[in-house]
Amino acid sequence: MTQHCAKVAIPIRSPLSEVFNSFTDPTQITKFWLQSTSGPLLQGATVQWQFLVPGAVETVTVHEFQVNRQLTFSWSDGISVSLQFIEYGVGTTLLSVEASGFEKDDIEAIVGATEGFTLVLCDLKTLLESGRSANLVKDKAELISRSHGQGSPRSDA
């Protein structure tokens, strides 16, 4: 039986510890991905995430936690997300994400997860390499909100 998954990887010119900490520390993950989180990601933790799309919340349960190596968690719908952190040269980390557990042949969900994680990783890369978020996740959240009739056009656009 074929398991369908979303996979994304990108090198980030930042040390392993900084890239890993970006996902585990609430003050860091809210700089590029989330509106808020109820706590840090640690071994066995269950936290509530509020995404940038209004009303989008998720319960996250950590299953594997290897400092600077691997972080695996599941969402309330059973999707498993595994992040791997590999030294990719001096001061560079190869970050890969694999999300699995999608319903059979739910291609739209797989494509959406691939797109979403691509934006998350690219925004994190920009943040860690330049010191500023590119607002990729924020802008995508705004598009989603507008497509669902929430929000109005930005006055500064």
pLDDT band at residue 152, thresholds of 50, 70 and 90? very low
The pLDDT value given to residue 153: 40
The pLDDT value given to residue 105: 81
Q: 7-57, pLDDT tens digit by residue? A: 999 999 999 999 999 999 999 999 999 999 999 999 999 999 999 999 999
Residue 105 CA: distances (Å) to CA of 1, 2, 75: 12, 10, 19
Cβ neighbourhood burial of 156 (10 Å; 0-12, 13-18, 19+) = exposed
The pLDDT value given to residue 155: 30
Q: 65-119, pLDDT tens digit by residue? A: 999 999 999 999 999 999 999 999 999 999 999 999 998 888 999 999 999 999 9
Domains of the chain: 5-146 (3.30.530.20)
∠ CA 105-111-116 to the nearest 5 degrees?
A: 140
The pLDDT value given to residue 130: 97
* Coarse DSSP helix, strand, coil percentages of the chain, rounded to the nearest 5 percent: 30, 30, 35
Q: Is the pLDDT of residue 61 over 70?
A: yes
Hey, what amino acid is at 122? C
Q: Is the pLDDT of residue 156 over 60?
A: no
Is the pTM of the predicted complex or chain greater than 0.85? yes
